[in-house]
Amino acid sequence: MSSTKEKRKTPRVKKRGTRRRRQTSIYLLLWAVFSVLSLFIVLLFVISQQVLLNRTYKTEAAQELNEKSTRIEHTILNPPPYFVGRRSELLQYLSNENDVQIFILDDEGKVLFPHGVGFDEDQTGAGIPLDFSDEISVLKNKLETQKTALYEGDGEFVYGSKISLYEDSQEYLYISKSLHLVQTVTETMRVRAVSTSAFVFVLAFAVSSAVSGWLTRPITEMGKKARQLARGDFDVDFYGDYSEEMVELADALNFARDELSKTDKMQKELLANVSHDFKTPLTMIKAYASMIIEISGDNPEKRNKHAQVIVDEADRLASLVGDLLDLSKIRSGINALKLSLVDMSAYTEEILGRFAYLQETQGYQIVTDIQAGLNAYVDEVKIGQALYNLIGNAVNYTGEDKRVYVSLQQIEPDVFRFSVRDTGKGIKQEELSTIWDRYYRSAETHKRPVKGTGLGLSIVKTVLEKHRFVFGVDSEYGKGSTFYVDFPLVSDETEKIQPNA
Ligand code: ADP
């Protein structure tokens, strides 16, 4: 039966696996984000260099020219004593000193000062007069409304102003600074910006790839180990080193491993125990059936005795199978709780009635103390099974006096307690927590009227946990045990409110 279940399960798991949406790996995601971000920053840098650099340099050059020119103009108009009457020399000196070209022009653009530089060299090396006629008209235009002008001319920055060297005369001061150097500098910077950006981008690319790898490595590792775990290797250890979340994930996976390992161990034990307990009655049944055939077939008394053994062992098998089925059904959640309001007082009496034959035939005495009218929302069938198991155990394990005490009493305004006490050997302290485990049977299991399968308390535990009820056992070894269950009392006022179990 279990093998067909397994067969059905396998494809379901596979299906769930394939249904998973195709996701991009974190490594790729991180890498892409880092790369795009660095690309964006680099682009921003390049663009700002391209656009702003030229403008900034030009503004700075213009400002510098303006400041220098103001000083130059002032010096020309108020020459130091040495340069009085040596205007051309002064202009030469100021030109060299300030790295600019200085001319004093007349109204038509003819160079008045410095003398001897009003010529340029043509290809043959002969002097030709410098022609400022175009420049002077532009300058005059600009000086119409203002005293000084600062503007960008043909490959140079120009400062111009109207000056008066003699009485009633009108000359123009023309100071220019070549833009060549600025252009060279900005060009060099631009080329450098592009190459630096390319380098930075490649570096960012490599760094982002390394960082993404570093960040995702533990996740990939954990994935590998989780698969190992799924294949049944419980020796794997999960480590999450560098971040809180990773550590938490690793802890959770380690916890899952421990739980899986426990379940696996219990399953193996269960299988071993179940096979053993199936084998014993089957061997008995076979042996006694053979005995009937070979020996006691003609002896009605013996035959009946042997047949009775077969019936008893078949009963044992049936109850074992029944318990196993109940447990697997309850645990797998096939049967969800069907809650209804139950009069637990009447119901407990009814369950006790099922033990009447033991009282009548085997001298057991069940002493009851049941308070009437205690109601609770429960799954009637499952709770009935749990209480039956608890009473059954008490009968099974009680002492020589064959007495069992069952009580149902309100213990708090909204709680009533079911308890069943026996006078048997009790349970050792160290076994108190393990008796609820599947297939746990104490080494001192007794053979009594209610035959045990080792699954009774596991059923009780599963049912009560599903109801979220408080339950437990108090036991003193050698004096007996008391198992109890606390039910939330449904009084007349609260009766209408359904619990959300
Ligand atoms: P079983 O079918 O063996 O009774 P249970 O799951 O009902 O299985 O109980 C598990 C074990 O707990 C028993 O084998 C027994 O050792 C112990 N146990 C349960 N109830 C009692 C009790 N009332 N007194 C002493 N031991 C008990």
Question: Model-level pTM?
Answer: 0.49
Ligand 1 pocket, residues with Cβ under 6 angstroms: 389, 393-394, 396-397, 422, 424, 427, 435, 440-442, 445, 452-458, 481
| Distance from residue 451's CA to the centre of ligand 1 (Å) | 10
> Of the ranges 114-128, 206-220, 448-462, which one carries the lowest mean pLDDT score?
114-128
pLDDT of residue 438: 64
Residues 6 or more apart whose CB falls under 8 angstroms from that of 498 comprise 339, 377
Going by C-alpha positions, the residue among 221, 210, 215, 130 that lies closest to residue 176 is 130
At residue 268, the pLDDT reads 80
Please provide the average confidence, as pLDDT, over all residues in the chain.
Answer: 82
How much is the average pLDDT of 27-36? 81
Q: For residue range 344-356, what is the model confidence (pLDDT) as tens digits? A: 999 999 999 988 8
Q: How far is the CA of 131 from the centre of ligand 1 (A)?
A: 121
Cβ atoms of 336 and 467 within 8 Å: the answer is no
Residue with CA nearest ligand 1 atom 20: 393
**Least confident interval from 108-122, 137-151, 314-328, 478-492:** 108-122
Q: How far apart are CA 360 and CA 364, in angstroms?
A: 7
Answer yes or no: is pLDDT of 129 > 60.
yes
pLDDT at residue 333, rounded to an integer: 63
CA-proximal residue: ligand 1, atom 16 (nearest)? 442
Lowest-confidence segment of 42-51, 449-458, 465-474 by average pLDDT: 449-458
Residues 97-124 have a mean pLDDT of: 77
Give 377-435 pLDDT, tens digit per residue.
Answer: 999 988 998 999 999 999 989 999 999 999 999 999 999 999 999 999 999 888 888 88
**Residue 7 in this model has a pLDDT that exceeds 60:** no
Closest ligand 1 atom to Cα of 444: 16
Ligand 1 geometric centre to CA of 398 (Å)? 11
119 three-class SS: strand
SS3 341: strand
| CA 485 – CA 325 distance, rounded (Å) | 23
Residue 332 has pLDDT above 80, yes or no: no
Q: What pLDDT is attached to residue 16?
A: 45
The owner of tokens 């709680």 is: 415
Mean pLDDT over residues 11-35, rounded? Answer: 63
Residue 115, pLDDT above cutoff 90: no
pLDDT at 450: 45
